[in-house]
Structure 1
Amino acid sequence: MSDTTAKTLQHRLEGPEHAPLLVLGPALGTTWHMWDRQIPELTRHWRVLRFDLPGHGGSPAYSADSADAFAERLLATLDTLGIERFGYAGCALGGAIGVQLALRAPQRVTSLALISSSPRFATPDSWRQRGVVIRTNGLDPIARTTPEHWFTSTFAAAQPAIVEWAVQMVRTTDPGCYIAACEALASFDAKASLDRIGVGTLVVAGADDQVTPPAEARALVAGIPDARLAIVPGASHLTPVEQPGAVTDLLIRHFTTTWQESAAGPPAPAPVITPVPPQASAVAELESAQAAAARTDAYDAGMKVRREVLGDAHVDHATEGSDAFTDDFQHFVTRYAWGEVWTRTGIDRRTRSVITLTALVARGHLDELGFHTRAALRNGLTPDEIKEVLLQTAVYCGVPAANSAFAVAQRVIREETTPEDRRDAGAPVEAE
């Protein structure tokens, strides 16, 4: 293997020779063929370079174990081709490479699209554990579970040939290179550096992506100045494969705009680019960075109030137990309930606690009643006042509901107050 081969990436160039260059970066376990359905349209406007990760798609198995190392090899590849400036779109690990390119060589990247990406992918331990599985059992267990992570169940059922293609892509990847790429994802954490990305950036997420859910995309948009967010319905993690038309349209619109806005402009002669009109059916959500920042501000404010009212222990337990399935819900609760309602100044927190206790008794939500009784004490209600609230609910919400509520509140008050205060709370009322 030559030194040049070891420092560059297997690649393929297509499209008009003098058009601006657009680079497409693949996800872990895929090859450049994941972009096949974008190529016919993209090559009408750009010269497109696709590349394979080491050990993927038959490329030489000289592994790289960091996103920065992948970025360095891509830049070396472009250097050998005499290409200085380029736009870049990457999916998942390809997105992490794009972030590193924008940080490492900002003068060369004209615009950026990050698909199914995150400022930090899962936890380092989860990626390293995957490496343990591969060393022990090979790639077959990973390959067999790929469809459920990459595609929605509807797509997988309707497109068995594509599902089998995906399984075979993973199965034929070099195990050592796959493990090294897992290490690259384990060590990738760009949260503190996102504000240094100075090029126009589009962030795309599949609405049903459980690997990098939309909350991760919103974190990217909140951190990257002037970034925009697009949520694609009916797509999971491998969005360019599952919804090729929507992704193609988004890329054309984004890179057309950013090339036109680029101070340097595209190299002469400039291509004729026909803007693609927006398709509301393909993109459910297109947000400005300002809107995403507002969401982040509400989330941060909500988390502060949530901790003040419920206590750190409760909030830590709720957030630590969250996963890809519940992350969006936790984000919603913190941002909306705590960041947009509990932060309002029209009534004080004591009054909000009274209202909350009443509503929880009325609906029979006893688990929530327990921690909101504790919150009411933190907000300044006395045990006597809580007792009066519950007595009032017996009249308007029913004695059985109030009886259950008294039992829950009594337990919490006993845990949270002194013996003298507990006696003031009284005993629960037994329903007839």
Structure 2
Amino acid sequence: MNLAFDRSAGTGPEVVCLPMFGMSRVAMAACFSSAFAGADLRETYLDLPGHGDTPANCAPTSQAVLDTVCGWLDDRVDAPVLLAGASYGAYLAAGIARQRPELVRGLLLVCPGVTIARETRDLPDEPPLDASTGWLDDAPAALHEHFDAALGQRTPAVVATVLAALDSGGPGDATFLQRLQSGPDYALPDENAEVVFDGPVTVLTGRQDRVVGYADQFRAMRRYPRGTFTVIDAAGHYLPFEQPTVLRALAQEWLRQQHLR
């Protein structure tokens, strides 16, 4: 399977990191590399089909994307591995644990999607936190509505960090991504399956995440008998860029649960 990837030279267990929808492996390295610092992991960052430098080499469905990632894991890693993902990448990681549990040693799910259909998501209805004056001035107008819903830390510095992440890495395939996100098979067919994964799982959510929320993620914890759930205040959907210190602390605790720290 042809997926662009970067891999560090660590000598410990491998952690494979899956990106947010539309983001690249470079952006995910910016999220997770500091969180994993000192663990001597073999950190592997993938570009999903149609993301970054990976061509759109599968059908525009989430199941095809998941199957492509599983094929890459079959070919390129010594299973089981640790899987880490953010947003759509976390949605896929949870799907891999359901469908191919023999590939997965443990899960780190950051702001994971649980249900793809936006109208079914249980989102916070409280007003957003106060924002710095002019906090969106440097963001393109097309992203103002998204950032207003996505960010808990509403400051120019956080906006600049997220914009840099969105612009990093390869160009991706915008046509493929639009077909994937708008198509009838954006949801995995087993999205609602009550399949139990017995490995160590840490789920991190943002209290002000009005993209995927935090309540659906808590209800999904019944699928993870060894799961830890945390909702973080002053954080939204871009939690790794909003609360990097908290992410590092909780990622290091997740590694301790794997008996790696």
Instruction: Settle same-fold status: TM greater than 0.5.
Output: yes
Alignment match, 1:284: none
What is the Cα deviation at residue 107 of structure 1? 1.5
Aligned positions of 1:221-300 closer than 5 A = 221-257=221-257, 259-260=258-259, 273-274=260-261
The answer as to 2:180 corresponding to 1:181 is yes
What is the Cα deviation at residue 99 of structure 1? 1.4
Whether the aligned pair in 1 keeps the contact of 2:23 and 2:166 (CA below 8 Å) is no
The answer as to 2:68 corresponding to 1:70 is no
In structure 2, what is the Cα distance between the partners aligned to 1:252 and 1:184? 38
The answer as to 2:16 corresponding to 1:23 is yes
The answer as to 2:7 corresponding to 1:13 is yes
In structure 1, what is the Cα distance between the partners aligned to 2:184 and 2:170? 20
Counterpart amino acid of 2:158? Q
Alignment match, 1:59: 54
Corresponding residue SS for 2:105: strand
Alpha-carbon spacing, 1:188–1:72, altered in 2? closer, same or farther (3 Å): closer
2:76 to 53, 67, 81: 81
Greater than 6 Å deviation, 4+ residue runs: none
Whether the aligned pair in 2 keeps the contact of 1:62 and 1:177 (CA below 8 Å) is no
Aligned positions of 1:401-416 closer than 5 A = none
In structure 2, what is the Cα distance between the partners aligned to 1:24 and 1:184? 26
Question: Would you say how many aligned residue pairs link Structure 1 and Structure 2?
Answer: 240
Whether the aligned pair in 2 keeps the contact of 1:31 and 1:56 (CA below 8 Å) is yes
The unaligned stretches of length 5 or more in structure 1 are: 1-6, 127-139, 261-272, 275-432
Alignment match, 2:196: 196
In structure 2, what is the Cα distance between the partners aligned to 1:34 and 1:163? 9
Alpha-carbon spacing, 1:118–1:167, altered in 2? closer, same or farther (3 Å): closer
Alignment match, 2:210: 210
Corresponding residue SS for 1:100: helix
Alignment match, 1:392: none
Alpha-carbon spacing, 1:198–1:153, altered in 2? closer, same or farther (3 Å): closer
What is the Cα deviation at residue 52 of structure 1? 1.2
What is the Cα deviation at residue 47 of structure 1? 0.8
Whether the aligned pair in 2 keeps the contact of 1:56 and 1:173 (CA below 8 Å) is yes
Corresponding residue SS for 1:53: coil
Whether the aligned pair in 2 keeps the contact of 1:143 and 1:168 (CA below 8 Å) is no
What is the Cα deviation at residue 54 of structure 1? 2.0
In structure 2, what is the Cα distance between the partners aligned to 1:167 and 1:196? 33
What is the Cα deviation at residue 48 of structure 1? 0.8
2:25 to 29, 32, 39: 32
The TM-score with structure 2 as length reference comes to 0.79
What is the Cα deviation at residue 63 of structure 1? 4.5
Alignment match, 1:120: 115
Counterpart amino acid of 1:34? A
Alignment match, 2:164: 165
What is the Cα deviation at residue 109 of structure 1? 0.5
Alignment match, 2:135: none
Alpha-carbon spacing, 1:113–1:207, altered in 2? closer, same or farther (3 Å): same
Alignment match, 1:357: none
Whether the aligned pair in 1 keeps the contact of 2:48 and 2:69 (CA below 8 Å) is no
Alignment match, 2:88: 93
Counterpart amino acid of 1:225? P
Alignment match, 1:310: none
Whether the aligned pair in 1 keeps the contact of 2:218 and 2:229 (CA below 8 Å) is yes
> Higher strand proportion, which one?
2
* Residues 344-366 of structure 1, C-alpha deviations (whole Å, 9 max, x = no match): xxxxxxxxxxxxxxxxxxxxxxx
Whether the aligned pair in 1 keeps the contact of 2:206 and 2:231 (CA below 8 Å) is yes
The TM-score with structure 1 as length reference comes to 0.50
The answer as to 2:97 corresponding to 1:102 is yes
* Residues 139-185 of structure 1, C-alpha deviations (whole Å, 9 max, x = no match): x9865644334323523x23343243255369944222212431487
Aligned positions of 1:389-408 closer than 5 A = none
Counterpart amino acid of 2:254? H
Q: If you compute each CA radius of gyration, which structure gives the higher value, 1 or 2?
A: 1
Alpha-carbon spacing, 1:141–1:124, altered in 2? closer, same or farther (3 Å): farther
* Residues 316-351 of structure 1, C-alpha deviations (whole Å, 9 max, x = no match): xxxxxxxxxxxxxxxxxxxxxxxxxxxxxxxxxxxx
> Higher helix proportion, which one?
1
In structure 2, what is the Cα distance between the partners aligned to 1:203 and 1:101? 15
What is the Cα deviation at residue 112 of structure 1? 0.9
Alpha-carbon spacing, 1:145–1:198, altered in 2? closer, same or farther (3 Å): same
* Residues 5-50 of structure 1, C-alpha deviations (whole Å, 9 max, x = no match): xx3321110141x310111111102112233143145153211111
Corresponding residue SS for 1:117: coil
Whether the aligned pair in 2 keeps the contact of 1:67 and 1:100 (CA below 8 Å) is no
Alpha-carbon spacing, 1:75–1:237, altered in 2? closer, same or farther (3 Å): same
Q: Highest relative contact order (Cα 8 Å, sep 6+), 1 or 2?
A: 2
Alignment match, 2:127: none
Identical-residue share of aligned pairs (%): 19
In structure 2, what is the Cα distance between the partners aligned to 1:50 and 1:160? 23
What is the Cα deviation at residue 86 of structure 1? 0.2
RMSD over aligned CA atoms reads 3.0
